């Protein structure tokens, strides 16, 4: 486990001008872990254009807040729980959900939706042991999220999933939570001297001791005691109790207990509020006997919240806690000065300025161009003769196939806000009030980010924003979750810096703020780093629910493609699954074209002339069309050579994953052409074909001029797409 380095210890002594006590030393060790302090990444992430309206304080960035009018605010937060999920997938994933929900709750906002981004190793590769392990991880991660999210009554409205060999015997579990509240009810976050400090919810035990340190090193040994135990029922009543107290205005400041436990919560809150705390650990409710003060301070037991309230509200708060039968204790009070004073019974065991604990000395990590990139030259790949079997195989690959086996285990509708459920559109949609809605999309692409972390990250940003655009919403902000191997490896750190540069450039070009984010390093198993895995969430707000199209074909419609297809197949599903190639040129983002096409599509949707829009991403135009056909139960006939492109080969035109492209489905082709022709700048757009007249004996046909490339019954596509994930999961024979 990573303790403090010699430099850090001397920095601590210098700042304190004395030796730290044992308790102080342990607090600082927890807070200065990579997980809590962001000591490797803070210098870089500070370049990002963070939103001005932020609340709370949580490690690197904070839970983001978006004012959406009508006296309402949304909060958004993304977190991961990778190490714990890799060794105990059920509990790790469940407590991952629990943690991010607490962040949203800390602002006093009601959690209204969850999303998840999941990454696993090979599930149908050559190594049966790995496949089996992946199945075990996937089943239990899904069950963990399902049991927790469903029980607390927060719908899981969507997500994304990727399989890649760099995650073999490991996994990434990212959870995003959205909160909603009246602007006037957001917790004000202040503290007055003599205010009371409540510790509410679960009791404190030895689970999750050293969790932050555990997450701040590679996963080389399985430390199950560092994984916390979920209790969604307790979380549910905690949510209701806290929101009742928030509504009444009884809470001055609030924070959840997450990584680093009470130690980090005390130091970060004291530092952000600019107040001192006087806390007695003997007042903390314990579930185990004989816990040392240090164990109490750094335990990461779940379902605990830290509240600061005025004395005058004590009785009212106690009534609410009694109504919901939530355990609590008053562990201390706010005092003047800036020190955290910690007692155990009457003995003072720490008395340290919170600023020293909260502000770890930042590191300058070395970065170096990765040697693997020098070797990744593109190879000449043969042009396959028959494209039909390739299309069917692609539809059934783990990275593209139907995910309903997963999302049907999530309650996606509780709360009565879900307008587009998982699988129904490119983004998930929640209605708010007066026809307003929020569209959310989460996207990642580790293979492209591996080959070119800068363009790869831009691609994730572009895709997330495209998905929101497809739902007729205007993007208002982004969240990012940057997941990499060890920052001590200069080649890994170089990829991290490239990713940050991409986010900065994209945000500058599109004038979008980063409203929340998280960095997770040390994602390694046995010293082998994962592929760079930034996951981007885009949040959009729309106000015409009636204009939302679904990503599905319907009979008697015309099909347009907006955006140019280029020879950009590096990291594509086609290269990987058919040519077994991981090299090649990664799709680039042309900011001007990306922006132009997004505006054009928004214009079409706002004018109400489209039935549906689908983003072209993984698997290219061919897969985007096939998915829309399956979802809409309607076939089509298209001539791909009509689509704007600069491709040399027909397989590239079908499967290239160039950015900034949309498939538009409409019953009013003339109006679509008219709007696009009169658009203020030139849009690359062509009608490529039409959908079938009826659903009887339906077929899909892809042509290259008059040459038929693929002609298949829709039912065949459906079978390939629908059954594969379930078959892989049930493949217990291997």
- Residues of this chain that bind other proteins (CB under 8 A): 143, 146-147, 150-153, 231-234, 236-237, 323-325, 404, 407-419, 421, 424, 431, 545
Closest alpha carbon to 483 in 509, 452, 457, 455: 457
Q: Which residues 6+ apart lie within 8 Å of 695 measured at CB?
A: 555, 633, 634, 635
* Residue at token pair 């689908």: 614
**Minimum separation from the CB atom of position 314 to other proteins (A):** 23
**Residue that is written with structure tokens 């009884």 in the block:** 250
Between 310 and 423, CB nearer to other proteins: 423
Distances (CA, A) of 594 to 1, 462, 588, 589, 597: 45, 7, 10, 7, 5
Nearest distance, CB of residue 155 and other proteins, angstroms: 9
Closer residue to other proteins (CB): 339 or 418: 418
Catalytic residue among 35, 83, 210, 614: 35
Which positions ≥6 away from 559 have C-beta within 8 Å? 553, 625, 636, 638, 663, 664, 665, 687, 688, 689, 690, 691
Strands (E), 81-231: 110-120, 156-163, 171-182, 196-201
Q: What is the DSSP letter of 384?
A: P
83 is catalytic: no
Least Å from the CB of residue 323 to other proteins: 8
Please give the Cα distance from 712 to 715 (Å, whole number).
8
| DSSP run (H or E) holding 701 | strand 699-704
Q: What angle do CA 96, 99, 103 make, to 5 degrees?
A: 140
Nearer Cβ to other proteins (416/732): 416
Contact 337, 351 (CB under 8 A): no
How many helices (H) and strands (E) the chain has is answered by 25, 27
CA distances 190 to 29, 231, 267, 334, 640, Å, are 27, 29, 15, 11, 60
Nearest distance from C-beta of residue 714 to other proteins, angstroms: 19
For other proteins, give the closer residue by CB, 239 or 507.
239
Residues 297, 267: Cα–Cα separation, whole Å: 11
Residues 6 or more apart whose CB falls under 8 angstroms from that of 540 comprise 427, 438, 439, 440, 468, 469, 471, 473, 474, 475, 476
20 CB-near residues (< 8 Å, 6+ apart): 12, 13, 28, 352
The two three-digit tokens of residue 661, written as one number: 């492209």
Beta carbon nearer to other proteins, 491 or 726: 726
Nearer to other proteins, 106 or 146 (CB): 146
Distance of closest approach, residue 146 Cβ to other proteins, in angstroms? 5
Can you give the length of the chain in residues?
734
> What's the order of all strands across the beta sheet hosting 418-420?
418-420, 428-431, 437-444, 535-542, 474-483, 514-520
Q: Which H helix or E strand runs over 612? A: strand 612-615
The CA angle 475-476-478, to the nearest 5 degrees, is 90
Least distance between other proteins and beta carbon 420 (Å): 8
CA distance linking residue 347 with residue 535, whole number of Å: 46
Least distance from other proteins to the Cβ atom of residue 235, Å: 10
CB count within 10 Å of CB 79 equals 26
In the annotation, is 81 catalytic? yes
Tell me how far, at minimum, the Cβ of 246 lies from other proteins, in Å.
16
Q: How far is the CB of 595 from other proteins (least distance, A)?
A: 31
Nearest residue to 597 via CA among 677, 685, 672: 685
Provide the minimum distance between the beta carbon of 426 and other proteins in the complex, in angstroms, as a whole number.
15
Task: Please say which residue, 106 or 631, places its beta carbon nearer to other proteins.
Answer: 631
Return the number of other C-beta atoms located less than 10 Å from residue 368's C-beta: 11
Minimum CB separation from other proteins for residue 642, in Å? 32
And the tokens for 52?
A: 């001005």
Question: 23 and 349 in contact (C-beta within 8 Å)?
Answer: yes
Whose Cβ is closer to other proteins: residue 206's or residue 431's?
431
C-beta closer to other proteins: residue 287 or 366: 287
**Burial class (CB within 10 angstroms; exposed 0-12, middle 13-18, buried 19+) of 425:** buried
> Rounded CA gap, 528 and 534, in Å?
17
* Active-site entry in 11, 19, 81, 481: 81
Min dist CB 94 to other proteins, Å, is: 12
Q: Which of 214/410 has CB closer to other proteins?
A: 410
Residue 43 near residue 224 (C-beta atoms within 8 A) = no
| Residue 734, C-beta contacts closer than 8 angstroms, at least 6 positions apart | 128, 131, 132
Active site residues per annotation: 35, 81
């Amino acid at each position: 486990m990573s303790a403090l380095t010699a430099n850090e210890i001397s920095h601590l002594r210098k700042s304190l001008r004395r030796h730290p006590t044992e308790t102080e030393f342990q607090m600082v060790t927890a807070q200065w872990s990579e997980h809590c302090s962001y000591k490797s990444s803070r210098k870089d992430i500070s370049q990002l254009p963070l939103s001005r309206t932020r609340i709370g304080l949580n490690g690197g960035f904070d839970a983001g807040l978006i004012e959406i009018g009508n006296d309402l605010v949304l909060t958004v937060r993304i977190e991961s729980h990778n190490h714990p999920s890799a060794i105990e997938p059920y509990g790790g994933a469940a407590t991952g959900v629990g943690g991010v929900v607490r962040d949203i709750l800390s602002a006093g906002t009601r959690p209204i939706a969850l999303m998840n981004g999941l990454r696993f190793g090979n599930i149908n590769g050559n190594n049966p042991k790995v496949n089996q392990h992946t199945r075990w991880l996937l089943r239990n991660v899904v069950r963990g999220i399902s049991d927790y999210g469903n029980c607390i009554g927060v719908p899981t409205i969507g997500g994304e999933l990727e399989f890649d060999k760099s995650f073999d015997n490991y996994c990434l579990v990212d959870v995003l939570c959205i909160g909603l509240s009246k602007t006037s009810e957001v917790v004000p976050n202040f503290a007055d001297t003599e205010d009371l400090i409540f510790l509410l919810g679960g009791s404190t035990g030895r689970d999750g001791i050293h969790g932050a340190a555990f997450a701040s090193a590679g996963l080389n040994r399985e430390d199950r005691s560092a994984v916390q135990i979920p209790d969604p029922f307790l979380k549910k009543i905690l949510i209701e109790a806290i929101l009742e107290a928030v509504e009444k205005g009884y809470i001055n400041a609030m924070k959840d207990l997450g990584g680093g436990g009470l130690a980090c919560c005390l130091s970060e809150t004291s530092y952000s509020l600019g107040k001192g705390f006087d806390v007695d650990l003997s007042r903390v409710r314990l579930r185990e006997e004989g816990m040392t003060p240090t164990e109490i301070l750094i335990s990461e037991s779940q379902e605990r919240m830290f509240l600061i309230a005025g004395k005058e509200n004590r009785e009212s708060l106690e009534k609410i806690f009694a109504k919901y039968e939530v355990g609590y204790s008053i562990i201390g009070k706010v005092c003047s000065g800036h020190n955290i004073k910690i007692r155990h019974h009457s003995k003072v065991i720490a008395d340290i300025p919170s600023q020293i604990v909260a502000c770890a000395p930042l590191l300058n990590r070395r970065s170096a161009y990765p040697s693997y990139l020098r070797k990744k030259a593109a190879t000449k790949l043969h042009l396959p003769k028959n494209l039909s079997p390739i299309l069917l195989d692609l539809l059934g690959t783990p990275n593209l196939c139907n995910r309903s086996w997963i999302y049907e285990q999530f309650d996606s509708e509780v709360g009565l806000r879900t307008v587009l459920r998982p699988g129904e559109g490119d983004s998930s949609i929640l209605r708010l009030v007066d026809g307003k809605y929020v569209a959310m999309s989460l996207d990642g692409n580790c293979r492209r980010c591996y080959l070119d972390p800068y363009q790869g990250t831009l691609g994730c940003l572009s895709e997330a924003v495209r998905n929101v655009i497809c739902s007729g919403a205007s993007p208002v902000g982004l969240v990012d979750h940057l997941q990499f191997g060890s920052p001590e490896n200069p080649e890994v750190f170089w990829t991290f810096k490239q990713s940050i540069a991409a986010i900065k450039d994209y945000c500058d070009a599109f004038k979008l703020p980063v409203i929340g984010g998280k960095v997770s390093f040390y994602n390694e198993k046995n010293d082998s780093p994962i592929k760079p895995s930034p996951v981007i969430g885009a949040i959009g707000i729309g106000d015409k629910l009636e204009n939302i199209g679904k990503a599905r074909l319907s009979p008697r419609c015309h099909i347009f493609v907006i955006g140019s297809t280029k020879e950009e197949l590096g990291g594509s599903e086609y290269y990987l699954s058919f040519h077994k190639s991981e090299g090649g040129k990664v799709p680039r983002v042309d900011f001007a074209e990306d922006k132009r096409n997004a505006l054009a599509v928004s214009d079409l949707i706002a004018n109400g002339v489209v039935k549906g829009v689908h983003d072209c991403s993984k698997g290219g135009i061919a897969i985007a069309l096939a998915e829309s056909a399956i979802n809409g139960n309607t076939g089509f006939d298209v001539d791909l050579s009509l689509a704007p492109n600069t491709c040399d080969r027909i397989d590239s035109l079908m499967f290239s994953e160039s950015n900034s492209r949309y498939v538009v489905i409409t019953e009013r082709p003339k109006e679509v052409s008219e709007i696009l022709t009169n658009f203020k700048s030139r849009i690359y757009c062509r009608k490529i074909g039409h959908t079938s007249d009826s659903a009887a004996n339906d077929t899909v046909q892809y042509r290259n001029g008059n040459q038929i490339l693929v002609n298949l019954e829709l039912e065949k596509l459906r079978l390939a797409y629908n059954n594969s994930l379930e078959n892989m999961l049930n493949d217990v024979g291997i």
